[in-house]
Each structure stands twice: as C-alpha cells, then as structure tokens.
Amino acid sequence: MDWKLLKRIGQVFGMLVVSMLLFFVLAGSLQFTRAWLVFAIYFMVLLVNFIVMVAKNASDIARERSETKKGTKGWDIAIASLYAIGLFGIFVAAGLDARAGIVIWGLPVIALGSLMFVCGDGLVLWAMLSNKYFYTTARIDPRQKVAVKGPYAKIRHPGYVGILLFITAMPMILGSPSAMIIALVVDLLILLRTYLEDNMLMHELKGYKAYAKDVRYRLIPYLW
C-alpha cells in the first residue's frame, strides 16, 4: 500500500470536504447552485490531477508533497499556514455572505471564474509535470536541478500563476465580495512567497542565476 500517496490524496480531498462543510454550515442551506459549481469543479480538477500524474509516472511528486521536509524555510512554513487559513477563510466568508443574501456578479463573471479555475489548475498541473522538484514548501534538495521545460521556458514560477488564478476565481463564482477580499489577501501572500522563493533559488540553487538571465520574468511576462 502506497501510504504517502494515499496521505496526499487524503490531504487534498480532505481540504475540499472541510471547505464544503464550512460553506454550507455557515450558509445554513444546501440550496446554493454557485457553491455546488465551485465544489464540482474543485473535485474534478483534483481527480484529473491524480489520474494524469499517475498516467505520466509523476506520482512521486504527490508523495513528496504529502510531507513538510527537513530544510523547509521558516518563512515558508508561516506563509503556508496563513495560506491554508486564507483558503478556508474564503469559504467561511462566502458562506456568511450567502446566509445574509449578499451574492453579486452574474453569469458572465461565473463563466469567467470557472474558466480561470480550470486554467489555473491546469497550469499548476503542467508545472508539476515539468518540474519533479515541485515541492509543497520552499527548500533546496541536494539533487535539485533548475526546471527549464514546459511553462518554465516562459516564466520562472508558473505554479504560482495557476494558484493566483484559481484562488481569485472561487469568490467570482460564489459571488461573494467578502470572500474576494480574503482571496486578494491570499494573492498577496502568494506574491510574497514568489519573491522570497525566487531569492532563495538565486542564492542556493546552482544554475538558477543563469536561468533567470534567460527567463527574466517571475510571474507575468514583461511586467514582473
């Protein structure tokens, strides 16, 4: 039995279950189509991720992401903890907004949010398949090499772009202004993590400085 892989599956699907419970308990009803749409997309992308990773013989990445390894930077443990709190906070805020009848944005925003969610997760999956050192936390593996293929040929941190997309997408689909505020705070945490991790790689990963000269932008081409 592959306990590490099962542990990772339990972690990610467990977060989905907790998010659903938080939203529906606080909303006080199961009658929220927007929420069911978010959770259906959430479930499907997680399922597709694991199927693709197993099919591509990339399940080692999922196993590695099941644990916080020795060498993880202290600042990243703090950011990762705040990220998890913020992720759950999105559903807490959305549930309370739903209970209060505060639901904004129409079908065009729901459609855009759904597209952003799927594209964001797809970009994260592409980054994981292109970088076997796509760890959950910021650390340097002694065997680690610079990832240069796939999306890494264009930007240095494609996984974080994907996360920014789907984090922002969730409150758009839910129609919750309070959840959007929390999502934007989480986005700022991701930007901070990108900066700190990039700085770590510059100083600690052999070949990264040369790579950064070729691929100049961290997240957004021609901007940053």
* Confidence (pTM): 0.88
| Domain span holding position 26 | 3-214
H or E element: which one contains 46?
helix 33-55
Report pLDDT digits (tens) over 152-173: 999 999 999 999 999 999 999 9
- On whether residue 25 sits in a domain, the answer given is yes
pLDDT of residue 61: 63
Integer CA distances (angstroms), 128 to 67, 71, 103, 134, in order: 16, 20, 35, 6
Spatial contact of 176 and 184, defined as CB atoms under 8 Å apart: no
Query: In this structure, what token pair is assigned to residue 131?
Result: 């970088």
- On whether residue 219 sits in a domain, the answer given is no
Nearest 5°: the CA angle 70, 71, 73 is: 125
- On whether residue 82 sits in a domain, the answer given is yes
Could you tell me the CATH number of the domain that includes residue 200?
1.20.120.1630
pLDDT of residue 11: 81
Q: Report CA dihedral (72, 58, 149, 144) to the nearest 10 degrees.
A: 30
Nearest alpha carbon to residue 23 among 88, 86, 81, 83:
88
- On whether residue 118 sits in a domain, the answer given is yes
pLDDT of residue 38: 96
Residues in Cβ contact with 118 at an 8 Å cutoff, skipping those fewer than 6 apart: 41, 45
222 φ/ψ sector (left φ>0, alpha ψ -120 to 50, else beta): left
CA–CA separation, 24 vs 92, rounded Å? Answer: 9
Regions of the chain where pLDDT drops below 70? 1-5, 57-70
- On whether residue 33 sits in a domain, the answer given is yes
What's the total number of domains in the chain?
1
pLDDT of residue 77: 87
- On whether residue 224 sits in a domain, the answer given is no
pLDDT of residue 65: 55
CA–CA separation, 191 vs 79, rounded Å? Answer: 11
Report pLDDT digits (tens) over 19-58: 999 999 999 999 999 999 999 999 999 988 888 877 776 5
pLDDT of residue 1: 45
- On whether residue 173 sits in a domain, the answer given is yes
- On whether residue 221 sits in a domain, the answer given is no
Spatial contact of 143 and 132, defined as CB atoms under 8 Å apart: no
